[in-house]
Structure 1
Amino acid sequence: MPTLFILLRKELKAFFLNPFGWVILAAVVVANGVGISTAMKGFLDTPSQDSLIFVTFHSPVFWFWFLFIFPLITMRSFAEEERSGTLETLLTAPVRTWQVVLSKYLAAFLFYLFLWLPTLVQFHIFDWIAELPDSWTPGEVVGTYAILILMGMAFTAVGCFASALTSSQIIAGLLTICFLMILFFVGYVPVIWGGAFQGVGLFHYISCQEHLALFAKGFVDTRPVIYYPTLTFVILFLTYQLVDYRRWKR
């Protein structure tokens, strides 16, 4: 375990001591601010009973920037070290493959969680300035951020896997966004084809849009709680096998 913590600290420094990490944070803050402003304008044009958090995260604006977080925070994980040759040095050191994979994944996931801290303040700014009560319930806040954490677990793993497939950061980023777009559009299959075909339940089960909409209303479904950690484990296992193959191939 000490080795894992040493590797994890090294990976975290790559985020927090690098200007690029703070640029990502600033981009997320700006993007979420745009989403909140868009949602508030929507309330002005068309009053709604939905909460500000639900409308903000249940819009195309949110999904556009949300999916692009993961290639940005994971494309360097393995690809950059493979390109520079430091991955070979790391894999020949007295560390285990699972420690390398897990440290890179945990660092990216912890940084992902860090990105959401300012958004909690953003939702309160308007209420503090206008001296109005919160336009959401505690259940909606907990549900929304719970599903963002669950989706982040799996999507970060997808990014790490894509980064392990290539030595190019650009290709790793493109692969990540392609994989995530597939997962995203799979949720629209019942909308496009209707719900009368066999197996439609599977598409509802893996639809990240439905998961976010449900949790953002304060309803907790146990299926995503099982689905995303399972998907995370499977993808990390594949990443481990890929990196381990490269290790022994050398």
Structure 2
Amino acid sequence: MRATCSLIRREFAAYFTGPIGYVALFGFLVLNGLLFWLVVGLLTEKGPQGVEYPMQVMLGGAENPPGALVAGVLFWGLFPAVTGIITSRLIAEERGSGTLESLLTAPIRDWQVVLAKFVACFAFYLLLWATTLVYVPVLADLRAEWQGNFTLYSVMLLVGIFLLVSAKLGFWFESNGWLVLLFGLLGLGLAGAGGYLHATKDARHLVHITANIDPMPVLTSYLGVVLAGAMFLALGLLVSSWVKSQLVAWMLSLLLGLGFVLPAALRWQVDSGSQWDALLYYVSVPEHFRRDFTRGVIDTRPLVLYVTATLCCLYLTVRALEARRLR
């Protein structure tokens, strides 16, 4: 556990000690900033020039107005590029510099190496999307009013948040790994249960939040980008285990990632409701967002694709490292 946590810290910190993390962060912020500017402009329009689902424009799924369609092509064209940048260095850099052999001979299993690298790049990916949370009050038109009514469930929520923060601090200061894991799981359980029960059972709230725009599309959209991002990152990690050059790893990750993006361009060529339409929908990530996630709908088929593809890519990455150890 301690070795895995140390490797996670090393890989995550590497994003801020080299140019790759800052390049990914800069490109991501510029892209989402432009999309948010487009959404704000559409939300202030009147009549047919407005937008019904703001997240559909943010995540590139709206067909009207024409500018939203161009934004969609730009977003999904660059999405595999960003995830490829995040993962290109993870194993390819180790192979190119010759440090992978030292890592594989260390007292740590191959699956722990893969898990640590995946958790680090996934944490950095979540950090990228966390910067967009400042857009949520505008996208859902949220209004908050402090009431300060403490109840049992609200106390559970606050204690859970405190334990999560403690676990995070313990992780960075290299405290006992099992204690950090215990605090993290306990905090997650208390915060989740307390927050849900406080929102559904308590008549009195700490903060009364109202949304003038349906917040469900925002929640389902973020669920989609988290799981879809995990799939693209796992694919990039697998590619990084094949080659020594970071540039080649990035290019291969981009090409393979576009395999889940480009089928969306073929939807105009097939009949709606046909078998080909169903097949294109299943493998096309932009279609998942255009039809479901950005409209507040959760379809289990994309979720199954994301989870199974992620696990399959991680398994193949472990096998690739095992094969290299045997050579």
User: TM-score by structure 1 length?
Assistant: 0.88
Q: Percent identity?
A: 34
CA contact 1:190–1:200 (8 Å) conserved in 2: yes
Question: Partner letter of residue 215 of structure 2?
Answer: P
Change (3 A) 1:197 1:138: closer
Partner of 1:91 in structure 2?
104
Match of 1:53 in 2: 55
1:172-221 Cα shifts (integer Å, max 9, x gaps): 00000000111111234443243576454232222211211211111111
Q: Which residue of 1 aligns with 2:279?
A: 202
Which residue, 203, 209, 212 being the options, matches 2:289?
212
Per-residue deviation at 1:99? 0.8
Query: Is 2:77–2:258's contact at 8 Å kept on the other side of the alignment?
Result: no
Q: Which residue of 2 aligns with 1:238?
A: 316
Which residue type is aligned with residue 171 of structure 1?
A: V
Contact in 2 for aligned 1:143/1:215 (Cα 8 Å): yes
Q: CA deviation at 1:51?
A: 2.8
Distance 1:135 1:61, change over 3 A: farther
Structure 2 residues not aligned, in runs of 5+: 61-71, 143-209
Larger Rg: 2
- 2:247 aligned residue: 170
Residues 93-242 of structure 1 aligned to structure 2 (within 5 Å): 93-124=106-137, 136-195=213-272, 198-213=275-290, 214-242=292-320
Instruction: Give the total of aligned pairs.
Output: 245
Question: Does the alignment pair 1:74 with 2:87?
Answer: yes
Distance 2:106 2:87 in 1: 23
One-letter code aligned to 2:3: T
Letter in 2 for 1:9: R
For residues 33 and 51 of structure 2, what CA distance do their matches in structure 1 show? 21
Residue 167 of structure 1 deviates from its aligned partner by 0.1
Q: Which amino acid aligns with 1:39?
A: V
Deviation of 1:125 after TM superposition, in Å, equals: 6.2
- Range 220-229 or range 46-55, more displaced: 46-55
Judged with a 3 Å threshold, the aligned counterparts in structure 2 of structure 1 residues 190 and 65 are, in CA distance, closer, same or farther, namely closer
**In the aligned structure 2, how far is the partner of 1:211 from the partner of 1:38?**
21
Give the CA deviation at 1:90. Answer: 0.5
Instruction: Please give the alpha-carbon distance, in whole angstroms, between the structure 1 residues aligned to 2:51 and 2:245.
Output: 47
1:35–1:61 Cα contact (<8 Å) kept: no
1:248 and 2:297 are equivalent in the alignment: no
Opposite residue 87 of structure 2, the aligned amino acid is: T
Question: CA offset at residue 103 of structure 1?
Answer: 0.9
When structure 1 is superposed on structure 2, of 79-88 and 55-64 the one drifting more is 55-64
1:36 corresponding residue in structure 2: 36
